[in-house]
Amino acid sequence: MNNVIIVQQDITQLRIEVIVNAANSTLLGGGGVDGAIHRRAGPSLLEACRALGGCPAGEARITPGFNLPAKWIVHTVGPVWRGGTLGEPGLLRACYRNALQLAREQGATSIAFPAISTGVYGYPKIAAAEIALSEMYAAWGFERVVACCFSKEDADIYRRLCSGYAGGESDNGMA
Ligand code: ADP
């Protein structure tokens, strides 16, 4: 069990080693959290992403954070929700695991995730949060794992689900 913290914030503002981007498979930027990250990180991020040549759903790639306070950005591509029978849960779980693994390989001990796939990709919020939290709580090697919710609705869902884990949410004063 590690420290899982829930905040309601713009992920681009977090002072943390790694933030995770819910990217699309081109890695060339888009709307939502992806757009916000590219805007704040600056044009060098697009250049770095272009060199990566895309990323399939469930996998992850890493770039520097450029102008962000975060040192690294892990870009992961969530599944588009198509009813849940086309492997969406496994792909979403893989996003969290692969992102954590890449961050660990960089020696990072703190990481923040947005609610991957729950925006334009349409993954049901509660089902997605259950997967997100189970992977965050299972993550090893981190001092801080942050669930960065953009809306109060999302933060409420995460907080409710969190109480089901031993000890619930930890509080380090970050929020
Ligand atoms: P996806 O395509 O994976 O669904 P979206 O960016 O559309 O990605 O949405 C994923 C989640 O990110 C949604 O919960 C959305 O509210 C949230 N989000 C959007 N902008 C930000 C931001 N600046 N910081 C944190 N979360 C954000």
Q: Provide the residue range defining the domain that includes 29.
A: 4-170
Q: E strands within the chain?
A: 4-8, 18-23, 60-64, 72-77, 110-113, 144-149
The predicted pLDDT at position 164 comes to 80
Query: Is 34 one of the catalytic residues?
Result: yes
What pLDDT is attached to residue 167?
62
Tokens for 126, please give them: 């509660």
* Closest atom of ligand 1 to CA, residue 22: 3
Between the CA of 22 and the centroid of ligand 1 the distance, in Å, is 7
- The torsion angles phi and psi of 26, rounded to 5 degrees, stand at -80, -25
The pLDDT score that the predictor gives to residue 3 is 83
On whether residue 175 sits in a domain, the answer given is no
Per-residue pLDDT of the chain (175 residues), as tens digits, is 568 999 999 999 999 999 999 999 999 999 999 999 999 999 999 999 999 999 999 999 999 999 999 999 999 999 999 999 999 999 999 999 999 999 999 999 999 999 999 999 999 999 999 999 999 999 999 999 999 999 999 999 999 999 887 666 665 545 4
CATH code of the domain in which 23 resides: 3.40.220.10
Please list the residues that pair with 113 across neighbouring strands. 147
Tell me whether residue 67 is in a domain.
Answer: yes
Gap from CA of 128 to ligand 1 centroid (Å):
13
Overall number of domains in the chain: 1
Which of 40, 48, 32, 42 shows the shortest CA–CA distance to 15? 40
- For ligand 1, the distance from its centroid to the CA atom of residue 116, given in whole angstroms, is 7
Which pTM was predicted?
0.95
Asked whether 162 and 168 are in contact (CB, 8 A), the reply is yes
Token pair 């997100």 is found at 132
20 close to ligand 1 (CB < 6 Angstrom): no
**Is the CB of 113 within 6 Å of ligand 1?**
no
Please give the DSSP secondary-structure letter assigned to residue 13: G
Query: What pLDDT does 48 receive?
Result: 98
